[in-house]
Structure 1
Amino acid sequence: MDRHATAVWSGTLKEGAGKLDAQSGALQGLGYSFKGRFEDESGKSGTNPEELLAAAHAGCFAMQLSHFLAENGTPAEKLDAKAVVTLVPGTGITGSALTLTGTVPGIDAAKFRELADKAKAECPVSRALGAINVSLDARLA
């Protein structure tokens, strides 16, 4: 299975701008820029590769955990996952910090943590991020 996205960039690094498109149509002409990546801490001036990586990581992790919870006989009512990807200019992406709050009837905290740790280790995006630190803070609601 292959998935694709395209990026078109025009201009210099600092003055230029780009547009992103994804195979699914979820991204169509989505703008990104130097300002949105390195200068605008509010995140309101457009997307950036790190934000998209964070979305992919949170989504993949939540899906993987939902599978493990269902296999355990304790399907989740809700998994609220967030990933914060850290970019250090001049160094690169140094980590992805996952936080999770789960509403999972019939499971104790220890088993929930065990399955969350397993999902963190085994989700395909976590595996792809093997060169950086991936952390997890998981709790039941």
Structure 2
Amino acid sequence: MERSASAVWSGGIKDGKGAISTQSGVLKDTQYGFNTRFENGPGTNPEELIGAAHAGCFTMALSGELGKAGLTAEKLETTATVTLDKVPGGFSISAVHLKLTAKIPGADDAQFQSIADTAKTNCPVSKLLTANITLDASLVK
């Protein structure tokens, strides 16, 4: 399976403007630029999109791992916070922190933590990233 996305850019790094689109049409000419990446302007940025991809991938992988253990989540909610650091020569994504809150009937915390860690390690987006990936998982009753 292959999926695609595209970006178009016009202008310089600070005064230019770009648009991102996805094959599915979920994003269509969604604006991005210097101000959306470094100044909280309206639009998106690559780090936000990586965070969305990682949160979605990890949460889906966790659901699969829970199924292998005979468990079904009532609710899984994940936030992925992507850290972009200035480094010599430019910028680097240095870390992703996954914050998970889960409601899983019949799960105990030790089993849940182990399953969540397996999902974090084995989701395809985690495998793609070389950043330090951390997880704070909370099981709620």
SS in 1 for 2:49: helix
RMSD over aligned CA atoms reads 0.8
- Aligned ranges for residues 96-111 of structure 1 at < 5 Å? 96-111=96-111
- Aligned ranges for residues 7-86 of structure 1 at < 5 Å? 7-40=7-40, 44-86=41-83
TM-score by length of 1: 0.95
Structure 1: stretches of 5+ with no match in the other structure = none
SS in 2 for 1:79: strand
The aligned amino acid for 1:136 is: L
CA distance in 1, matches of 2:42, 2:33: 8
CA distance in 2, matches of 1:137, 1:6: 33
TM-score by length of 2: 0.95
CA distance in 1, matches of 2:106, 2:57: 23
CA distance in 2, matches of 1:138, 1:70: 18
Distance apart, 1:113 and its partner CA = 0.3
CA distance in 2, matches of 1:105, 1:24: 34
CA distance in 2, matches of 1:47, 1:30: 7
The equivalent residue for 2:124 is 124
CA distance in 1, matches of 2:101, 2:107: 13
SS in 2 for 1:25: coil
The equivalent residue for 1:135 is 134
Matched positions, count: 137
Distance apart, 1:132 and its partner CA = 1.1
CA distance in 2, matches of 1:70, 1:25: 31
The aligned amino acid for 2:136 is: D
Runs of 4+ off more than 4 Å = none
Structure 2: stretches of 5+ with no match in the other structure = none
CA distance in 1, matches of 2:64, 2:93: 28
- Of stretches 90-99 and 75-84 in structure 1, the one that deviates more from structure 2 is 90-99
Q: Percent identity?
A: 52
